[in-house]
Structure 1
Amino acid sequence: MGEAASTTTPRERYRQQVRSEIKERAWEQITDAGLSALSLNGIARLMGLSATGIYRYFTSRDELLRELVHDAHRSLVGTLRTAAAQGKGDLAGLGQALRRWALDDPQRYFLVHGPPVPGYHAPADVAALAAEIMHILTDACAEVPEARASTPGTPLKDGPGPSGRAETASAQRLALSFRTRLHGVLSLELGGHFAGMECDPALLYQAELDLLVSH
């Protein structure tokens, strides 16, 4: 048994288990009916908790939402890290890992890349995870030959990457293109906007990815 587990009291473990179940129920609500369906009272009924009892675990719907957004970002960071560790840290590998992650849970994808949630302000830890996602992509873009030299006139500035090495403005610009172009295709696909079109989303996504890789 690890040190963290040995110092956790039974009450703390129970609290963590209940919080985990609440989040699972929340994802079920969101998957079934969208973010607007997220309801602490509804979760309390499903779990046999009182309307006030659930607030011992999450003080508000906003707190629960912040946890879900944090978990979604952390999941994406983990996916990209794994792809890089498995030798798939190039743009092509990261692009395919991103698509598999998005298709596996569209609502989780939209929590990260969908329209802003009214009244929601990302805390510092979520902002740090979002920055890490960009660092991972920029790191891969720096390996693209054409992106190794900074492009004159670009508004982006060179800066340190996650490993401390300089990130050229061209690599950052390519990473931005990666996010905007691929997320554009994914958002349309997951939103059902290709229905009725003579378009294969998977082939369109691959074509965009190929263009980026051959930058």
Structure 2
Amino acid sequence: MAGSAQSPRARYREQTRAEIKDIALRQLAEGGTGAVALTRIAKEVGLSGPALYRYFDSRDALLTDLIRDAYADLAQAVSAAAGALPTGTAPRIRLQTLAVAARSWAVAAPHRYLLIQGTPVPGYTAPADTLDSARAVLWPFLPAFAEAEPSASVRPVVAQMTAWAARDAAVAEWARTQVPSGAEGVALAGAVLTWTHLHGATGLEVSGQFEGMGHDGATLLTSQLDLLADGFGLG
């Protein structure tokens, strides 16, 4: 049975929420989180301050929606890259391809990337479900480490991640959706180390820390992940 169409009021509400978020994103791009101001947004949309609160009851609620959207879009970019890989793609190529997709998204939308991976917003506490959103970004990376052979350099991290999976059944189950049972600790270690390399390099790049240093961010990230792949014996 076909779903019922939205009422005009519901459509107007969704359109107004989308317009509010578009303006907030522009403010974010212009001046960071400190520039996101509900009073200015209300004026631009043509609403009174109290009327705006019918759509977002606080600045934190608006930021939460922007954070959720950013995570969802980043996860989609990484998942799309994973879905485009041919069957049997070498783990090292998978790792690099997904990292390129994540970096490309960040470079194209630095204000959105820094909202989720940059300096924490003072006084703001993200809701618990954003943890699941963050994990969704890393999820497609796990298969790259399904048959890894960790070297001595990464075994301490593998040991800690294996212990984590042993005491947290939800984490272990999350990893097992992508890797065979018994490989959870290795895959988690690979994903966490990928996260630190990826976001360390990309965060520095999009915040302008590499300006004038004579190298390209993509080249640096590729080198870092090749070293990581070597540490896990990825082919």
TM value normalised by structure 1: 0.88
Q: Tell me how far 1:151 sits from its aligned partner.
A: 4.7
What secondary structure is seen at the aligned counterpart in 2 of 1:199? coil
Structure 1 gap ranges (5+): none
Aligned pairs for 1:32-111 within 5 A: 32-87=30-85, 90-111=94-115
Question: Could you report, residue by residue, the CA deviation over 1:80-119 in whole angstroms, capped at 9, with x for unpaired residues?
Answer: 1111111178101101101111111001111111122222
1:132, 1:162 within 8 Å by CA — same for their partners in 2? no
Aligned pairs for 1:156-167 within 5 A: 156-157=161-162, 158=165, 159-160=172-173, 161=175, 163=177, 165-166=180-181, 167=183
2:161, 2:185 within 8 Å by CA — same for their partners in 1? yes
Misfit runs of 4+, over 6 Å: none
Take 1:110 and 1:3, find their aligned partners in 2: how far apart are those partners? Answer: 40
Structure 2 gap ranges (5+): 166-171
1:151, 1:169 within 8 Å by CA — same for their partners in 2? no
1:120 aligns with 2:124: yes
1:155 aligns with 2:160: yes
* Greater length-normalized contact order (CA 8 Å, ≥ 6 residues apart): 2
2:197, 2:224 within 8 Å by CA — same for their partners in 1? yes
Aligned pairs for 1:14-29 within 5 A: 14-29=12-27
Q: Tell me how far 1:212 sits from its aligned partner.
A: 2.5
Take 2:2 and 2:23, find their aligned partners in 1: how far apart are those partners? Answer: 30
The count of aligned residue pairs is: 210
Take 1:162 and 1:66, find their aligned partners in 2: how far apart are those partners? Answer: 29
**In the alignment, which residue of structure 1 is the partner of 2:137?**
133
Take 2:31 and 2:39, find their aligned partners in 1: how far apart are those partners? Answer: 16
TM value normalised by structure 2: 0.81
**In the alignment, which residue of structure 1 is the partner of 2:214?**
198
1:58, 1:64 within 8 Å by CA — same for their partners in 2? yes
What secondary structure is seen at the aligned counterpart in 2 of 1:156? helix
